[in-house]
Amino acid sequence: MPTDQQQIQNLYAEYCFAVDRGTAEDIAAFFWEDCYLNFGGNIHEGVEEARVGFAKWIAKMRDPVQGLRHCLYTPAITVDGDQAHAEAYYDADGHAGRKGKPIQLRGLYRSTLERREGEWRFVKHEVQIWNSIREALEKAENNTAS
């Protein structure tokens, strides 16, 4: 039987695969009905609001990207009974569909999870979206070239 930490790390991985290629319903299935989601500053309260938010994000932001993939780094997971707190850095990359321009993002997931009836899901999930790695490098190169 996997440990709680392993189950949560697996949940994070499965969530990333769903974000990369699943439906809004697939992604929303990782959240409890009474969840709170802060997705890059867009707040969604309750799983239905989160599902609608994911559907809009998929249509506007994800579907135009080819080969989207999220990679997680250094997950820190603390379990206290049926509640857990977790943080993990992520990188997301792909190619813009129209121009083929590489896209590279990075950020942080900060989550509170609860185990209900033996199953872990997000009850609070914050997705911090940091500057694009490529844009940051280009800006740094432009500043040193001046």
What DSSP line would sit under 61-108, residue for residue?
A: IITTEEEEEEEEEEEEEEEETTEEEEEEEEEEEEEETTT--EEEEEEE
Q: Which residue has 């239905």 as its token pair?
A: 48
pLDDT of residue 30: 98
Phi, psi dihedrals of residue 70, rounded to the nearest 5°: -105, 135
Both tokens of 63, joined, read 């579907």
pLDDT of residue 135: 64
Residues 91 and 44: beta-carbon distance below 8 Å: no
Q: What is the pLDDT of residues 92-102, one digit of tens each?
A: 999 987 788 88
> Mean pLDDT in the chain?
92
pLDDT of residue 134: 59
Q: What is the pLDDT along the chain (146 residues), one digit of tens a residue?
A: 999 999 999 999 999 999 999 999 999 999 999 999 999 999 999 999 999 999 999 999 999 999 999 999 999 999 999 999 999 999 999 998 778 888 888 999 999 999 999 999 999 999 999 976 556 556 666 766 65
What's the pTM value of the predicted model, to 2 decimals?
0.88
d(CA 94, CA 100): 9
Distances (CA, A) of 27 to 13, 16, 73: 12, 9, 20
**Beta pairing class for 119-129 and 31-39:** parallel
Q: In sequence order, which residues have a C-beta less than 8 Å from that of residue 103 and are 6 or more positions away?
A: 65, 92, 93, 94, 95, 96, 132, 134
Architecture of domain 4-145 in this structure: Roll (3.10)
